[in-house]
């Protein structure tokens, strides 16, 4: 199928909607399944009840909401033919899923790590501003927008009040391996990292070449490369998120999950 070049507004213009309709028609069965799984997740989301004192359950539920939003975004991006951007978000889904799984396998340790990671980010930013006496630091101090030393003291006091003695950054690889996600990390995650970082191999996707391989221009139109592999992977990831949130909250969704997994495996 030949997709015409987008107009001056690109994906934000009328032609973007035409591309969306054409892509859906070309992969209707696949998108229909993604929509069905989305509706299942949407209903599941609104059925959730969490005790206000269940800190692990609350964090896990909020994380599922974020993962579900990301799932919907990946599907939308492929509808518009933004394949590379969809793969980038698939990588984010993997990272979020590993945290959710870790909340099931090691709830106390994971909850603690999430707090330590949050304070790590905040303290690291303040120390960077303080130690790199650049124009940004001068602007902040001259305009009295922020007292860096005071903010650091406040954070350290807050850490002490909640029992945090150290700060550390979440290690994605460690999180994956500790949740028995070795294959997801070494095969899926590693491949998806190419889209996140500047990779000259990926940039060649934007070339137009002739039969001899000579570059004749740049690709101005959308692409649905690897659409089946990526969307089916995305669907599996969100279903795994339902599985682990169900385990954390003691919800039984085994029959529904089994049905949708079977639908994925039929492709």
Average pLDDT over residues 240-266: 95
What is the average per-residue pLDDT within 225-252?
94
224 compared with 79, residue with greater pLDDT: 79
Residues 6+ apart with CB under 8 A from 114: 59, 99, 170
- Binned at pLDDT 50, 70 and 90, residue 4 comes out as very low
Q: What is the mean pLDDT of residues 154-174?
A: 89
The stretches of the chain forming alpha helices (DSSP H) are 14-26, 28-47, 55-79, 83-105, 107-131, 135-142, 148-161, 172-178, 182-183, 190-196, 200-203, 227-249, 254-265
Q: What is the mean predicted confidence (pLDDT) over 132-156?
A: 79
- 8 has a pLDDT exceeding 80: no
* pTM for the whole structure: 0.82
pLDDT band at 1 (very low <50, low <70, confident <90, very high): very low
């Amino acid at each position: 199928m030949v997709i015409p070049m987008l107009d001056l507004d690109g994906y934000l213009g009328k032609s973007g909607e035409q591309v969306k309709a054409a892509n859906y028609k070309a992969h209707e069965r696949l998108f229909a399944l993604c929509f069905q799984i989305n509706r299942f997740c949407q209903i599941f989301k609104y059925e959730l009840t969490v005790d206000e004192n269940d800190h692990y359950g609350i964090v896990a539920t909020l994380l599922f909401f974020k993962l579900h939003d990301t799932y919907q975004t990946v599907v939308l991006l492929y509808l518009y033919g933004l394949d590379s951007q969809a793969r980038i978000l698939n990588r984010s889904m993997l990272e979020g899923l590993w945290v959710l799984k870790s909340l099931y396998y090691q709830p106390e340790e994971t909850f603690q790590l999430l707090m330590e990671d949050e304070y790590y980010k905040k303290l690291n930013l303040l120390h960077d501003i303080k130690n790199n006496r650049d124009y940004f630091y001068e602007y902040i101090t001259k305009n009295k927008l922020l007292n860096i030393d005071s903010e650091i003291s406040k954070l350290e006091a807050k850490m002490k009040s909640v029992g945090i003695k150290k700060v550390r950054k979440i290690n994605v690889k460690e999180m994956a391996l500790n949740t028995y996600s070795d294959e997801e990390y070494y095969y899926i995650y590693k491949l998806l990292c190419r889209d996140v970082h500047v990779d000259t191999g990926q940039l060649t996707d934007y070339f137009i070449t002739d039969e001899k391989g000579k570059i004749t221009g740049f690709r101005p139109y959308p692409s649905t490369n690897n659409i089946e592999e990526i969307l089916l992977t995305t669907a599996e990831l969100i279903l795994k998120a339902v599985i682990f949130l169900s385990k954390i909250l003691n919800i039984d969704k085994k029959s529904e999950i089994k049905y949708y997994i079977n639908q994925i495996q039929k492709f």
